[in-house]
């Protein structure tokens, strides 16, 4: 049935469809990815020196799968994700003060065996226990973790400890969602005795906030820094997962998840009758972003002469177009569709370009 002919989803339908078909499956996918990552990192450390390089390449592939899976859930910052600093512990970004670079090297140099014990790393600074700390260790060519010496063995064990920590966080997320009295139950059974969601609209409102948050994260952390550099107004930016060459992979996975979330949530069924064009525009915007994500510069460089840079160069046009689509989607969903669905979320949450 064409979207224009579909009846608007109820708030309860929005919640059930999105949680059952998007949120929980992607949380489970993350836990599956971290489980394999943790296993293969440990296997790398246990492998003989002659075969360790090949084992490390396998572990790096598992790391890439985990980055993709994380991109699919990162924006769902309500509920279990917002508890216990899980977002920061899993991926400490942005690190504007360089905390990771200040804390991780001396920690590795100290070679504290206690940090390798189960659960101990999770008590440390968030900066040293997640994906970006693991990326730094995996990509360090000067001090490789497969070196057959005391330093290499400790680095490998520390990487394995990070893998186990990530796996624990991911599995805790799944349990927090799926337990009998977990977050899925809270979202499904609103009422006067539900301290978080008295009404179905309250649960649906958390979901639309997540969607808008995801669009904003892509715009501010990945698209805007690239555009600022290509425009000559900022230095070459630090972008997430650039050291491992997974920045674009991360961007593509995030956009893909946001697109799927938007579709299953069904907010587009509330497109105002007099603005039917909006539905086609939003669908096209997601399609173009997904198509173009792999084409934008992986690491943009400042133009030699910012005063004379090519404003119509293919790279800057792609990035500018992506910013345009992200901003348009945020405005249409937040200012048009949310009020139409009686899910208004407040002006401040839509501030931005």
Q: For the segment 261-310, what is each residue's pLDDT rounded down to a tens digit? A: 999 999 999 999 899 999 999 999 999 999 999 998 887 777 776 666 66
Given a contact cutoff of 8 angstroms between Cβ atoms, the answer to whether 169 and 75 are in contact is: no
Same domain, 219 and 247: yes
Same domain, 164 and 225: no
Residue 342 lies in a domain: yes
Omega before 227 cis (within 30°)? no
Same domain, 122 and 203: no
Same domain, 143 and 223: no
Residues 16-54 pLDDT 10s? 999 999 999 999 999 999 999 999 999 999 998 889 999
Same domain, 80 and 175: yes
Which of these three, 116, 151, 181, is where a domain ends?
Answer: 181
CA angle 258, 90, 243 (to 5 degrees): 85
Domain of 32, CATH number, reads 1.20.1420.20
The mean predicted confidence, pLDDT, of the chain is 92
Q: Name the token pair of 42.
A: 């440990």
Same domain, 143 and 203: no
Range of the domain at 280: 199-350
Domain count within the chain: 2
Same domain, 245 and 173: no
Same domain, 107 and 156: yes
Q: How many CB atoms lie within 10 A of CB 210?
A: 23
Residue 120 lies in a domain: yes
Which of these three, 136, 151, 181, is where a domain ends?
Answer: 181
Same domain, 225 and 335: yes
Residue 20 lies in a domain: yes
Same domain, 171 and 210: no
With a CB cutoff of 8 Å and minimum separation 6, the contacts of 165 are 89, 121, 122, 129, 130
Residue 201 has pLDDT above 90, yes or no: yes
Residues 327-331 have a mean pLDDT of 97
Residue 299 lies in a domain: yes
Given a contact cutoff of 8 angstroms between Cβ atoms, the answer to whether 137 and 158 are in contact is: yes
Residue 220 has pLDDT above 80, yes or no: yes
Which of these three, 150, 181, 212, is where a domain ends?
Answer: 181
pTM over 0.85: yes
Residue 193 lies in a domain: no
Give 274-280's long-range contacts (Cβ < 8 A, gap of 24+).
275/336, 276/4, 278/332, 278/336, 278/337, 279/3, 279/4
Return d(Cα 10, Cα 15) in angstroms, integer: 9
Residues 101-148 pLDDT 10s? 999 999 999 999 999 999 999 999 999 999 999 999 999 999 999 999
Residue 188 lies in a domain: no
Residues 3-16 pLDDT 10s? 455 789 999 999 99
Residue 158 lies in a domain: yes
Same domain, 147 and 229: no
Give start and end residues of each alpha helix (H) in 111-241: 131-138, 150-178, 183-188, 200-218, 224-230
């Amino acid at each position: 049935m064409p979207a224009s002919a579909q009846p608007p989803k109820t708030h309860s339908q929005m919640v059930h469809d999105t949680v059952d078909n998007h949120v929980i499956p992607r949380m489970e996918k993350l836990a599956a990815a971290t489980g394999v990552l943790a296993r293969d990192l440990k296997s790398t450390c246990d492998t003989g020196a002659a075969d360790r390089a090949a084992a490390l390449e396998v572990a790096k592939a598992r790391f890439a799968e985990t980055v993709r899976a994380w991109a699919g859930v990162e924006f769902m910052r309500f509920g279990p994700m917002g508890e216990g600093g899980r977002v920061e512990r899993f991926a400490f970004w942005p690190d504007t003060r360089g905390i990771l670079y200040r804390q991780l090297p001396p920690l590795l140099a100290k070679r504290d065996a206690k940090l390798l014990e189960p659960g101990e790393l999770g008590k440390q600074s968030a900066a040293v226990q997640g994906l970006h700390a693991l990326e730094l260790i995996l990509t360090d060519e000067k001090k490789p973790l497969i070196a057959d010496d005391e330093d290499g063995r400790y680095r490998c064990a520390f990487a394995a400890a990070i893998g186990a920590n990530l796996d624990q966080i991911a599995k805790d997320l799944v349990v927090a969602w799926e337990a009998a009295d977990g977050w899925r139950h809270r979202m499904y059974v609103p009422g006067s005795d539900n301290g978080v969601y008295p009404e179905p609209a309250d649960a649906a409102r958390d979901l639309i906030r997540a969607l808008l948050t995801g669009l904003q994260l892509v715009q501010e952390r990945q698209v805007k820094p690239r555009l600022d550099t290509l425009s000559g107004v900022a230095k070459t930016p630090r972008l997430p997962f650039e050291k491992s060459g997974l920045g674009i992979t991360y961007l593509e996975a995030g956009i893909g998840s946001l697109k799927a979330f938007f579709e299953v949530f069904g907010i587009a069924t509330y497109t105002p009758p007099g603005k039917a064009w909006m539905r086609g525009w939003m669908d096209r915007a997601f399609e173009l972003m997904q198509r173009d994500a792999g084409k934008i510069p992986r690491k943009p460089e400042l133009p030699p002469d910012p005063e004379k840079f090519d404003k119509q160069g293919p790279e800057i046009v792609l990035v500018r177009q992506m910013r345009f689509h992200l901003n348009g989607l945020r405005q249409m969903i937040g200012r048009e569709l949310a009020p139409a669905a009686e899910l208004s979320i407040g002006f401040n949450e839509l501030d931005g370009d």
